Amino acid sequence: MTKTKLEYIWLDGYKPTQSLRSKTMVVSDFSGKLEDCDIWSFDGSSTKQAVGNNSDCLLKPVALYLDPGRIDAYIVINEVLNSDETPHISNKRATIEENDDFWFGFEQEYTLIDLETNRPIGFPVNGYPSPQGQYYCSVGATNAVGRQIIEEHLDTCIEAGLNIEGINSEVMMGQWEYQIFSKNATEACDQIWASRYFLERITEQYNVKVDWDPKPVQGDWNGSGMHANFSNKQLRESGDKKIFDKICEEFKLTHKEHIAVYGDHNEQRLTGEHETQDINSFSYGVSDRSASLRIPIATIKNNWKGRIEDRRPASNANPYDVAAIIIKSVKKALN
């Protein structure tokens, strides 16, 4: 009889930013298939998802990945359900209009914080390091601080079966990025949460925490985002600039709706500086990293066939929220 560890992962009910929760189920002779993962329950009164006299919430398995950090183990991504098996109000995954036509790529930025100094790794205890500029895509011990953690995370994601497409150091010291892509919107979001979980768990060993805050250091330092690259069949195949314009104009009309779900404290990051558009304004342009929406130059060179990058989502945004509203706005623009 073989024993397997299944780490059930879900999002709690904390506002405005949900947190990861997890617990382990040990099973016998597991098949390695998602459909053989049982629905489980947890105490929702301890996660702000239920009251004490009616505390049971359900975990519905929706994605399964290998867990390279443990022996004979998997992680299980779950939707949270009420006891009657309807989606819980905190279940943002259930709000996505599933459509395989939409491809998503998320650029997840984050900052590593030294728990002893409570400052980004590489920052001196007092004062600041050299001004930003030399740290982006950098090499060397004085620039690319924390690479061991980043490489371990990359290897873990690859071994788990996540479609991670790359990593790089970012503009501020101690700030890094990785990219996740899928030809299915919901799957891309599931994999962002799986990758966040792996990163949080890996950093437990290094006396370092992951800071998802969009502006971890005030002043002349870049914030952290989760840029959302998206396309559907019309964007990828039409070769029509008017399609891109229609979508961008619709996003202009729904700018406030998007900002409302694009992450807490995002106003500290979207200031009109440091490669952002001001949070109260909206713009789009070709190869423009100061715009709300950027149309990559590769799309133009491919005769207006490709993707759009929404640069507004913060690093702490819930990808389910981001994907749901992008799909909604694109469909509205093209209907």
Q: 202 and 142, same structural domain?
A: yes
pLDDT value at residue 62: 98
Q: What is the mean pLDDT of residues 68-96?
A: 97
Q: Which residues contact 28 (CB under 8 A, 6 or more apart)?
A: 1, 2, 3, 4
Q: What DSSP line would sit under 24-47, residue for residue?
A: EEEEES--S-GGGSPPEEEEGGGT
Q: 149 and 292, same structural domain?
A: yes
Q: Which residues contact 253 (CB under 8 A, 6 or more apart)?
A: none
Does residue 98 lie in a domain region? Answer: no
Last residue of a domain, one of 91, 114, 149: 91
Domain CATH code at residue 117? 3.30.590.10
CB atoms within 10 A of CB 147: 16
Does residue 86 lie in a domain region? Answer: yes
Q: 167 and 109, same structural domain?
A: yes
* Cα-Cα end-to-end distance for the chain: 55
**Residue 27 pLDDT grade (very low, low, confident, very high; cuts 50, 70, 90):** very high
| Cα radius of gyration rounded to whole Å, the chain | 20
State the DSSP code for 15.
S
- pTM, two decimals, is 0.96
Please tell me the distance from the alpha carbon of residue 309 to that of residue 12, in angstroms, as a whole number. Answer: 28
Q: 66 and 125, same structural domain?
A: no
Averaged pLDDT of the chain: 96
Q: 41 and 66, same structural domain?
A: yes
Domain CATH code at residue 41? 3.10.20.70
Does residue 319 lie in a domain region? Answer: yes
**Residue 100 pLDDT grade (very low, low, confident, very high; cuts 50, 70, 90):** confident
What six digits make up the tokens of 173?
């010291």
pLDDT value at residue 251: 98
Q: 235 and 121, same structural domain?
A: yes
Q: Range of 118's domain?
A: 103-334
- Whether cis (ω within 30° of 0) applies to the bond prior to 61 is no
Q: What is the mean pLDDT of residues 170-187?
A: 97
pLDDT value at residue 6: 98
What six digits make up the tokens of 33?
């298939």
Last residue of a domain, one of 61, 91, 121: 91
Does residue 317 lie in a domain region? Answer: yes
Percent of the chain with pLDDT over 70: 100
pLDDT value at residue 335: 86
pLDDT value at residue 261: 98
Does residue 66 lie in a domain region? Answer: yes
Q: 191 and 59, same structural domain?
A: no
Evaluate if residue 98 carries a pLDDT over 80: no
pLDDT value at residue 1: 77
**Residue 23 pLDDT grade (very low, low, confident, very high; cuts 50, 70, 90):** very high
pLDDT value at residue 235: 97
Q: 112 and 11, same structural domain?
A: no
Q: 303 and 185, same structural domain?
A: yes
Does residue 71 lie in a domain region? Answer: yes
Does residue 96 lie in a domain region? Answer: no
Q: 257 and 153, same structural domain?
A: yes
Distances (CA, A) of 295 to 179, 214, 232, 305, 306: 18, 23, 14, 10, 9
Please tell me the distance from the alpha carbon of residue 109 to that of residue 118, in angstroms, as a whole number. Answer: 18
Number of domains forming the structure of the chain = 2
pLDDT tens digits for range 193-208: 999 999 999 999 999 9
Does residue 260 lie in a domain region? Answer: yes
Last residue of a domain, one of 23, 57, 91: 91
Q: What is the mean pLDDT of residues 214-237?
A: 97
Percent of the chain with pLDDT over 90: 96
Q: 325 and 283, same structural domain?
A: yes
pLDDT value at residue 53: 82
Q: Is 52 exposed, middle or buried (0-12, 13-18, 19+ CB in 10 A)?
A: exposed
Q: 53 and 123, same structural domain?
A: no
Beta strands across the sheet bearing 20-28: 20-28, 3-11, 73-81, 56-66, 40-43
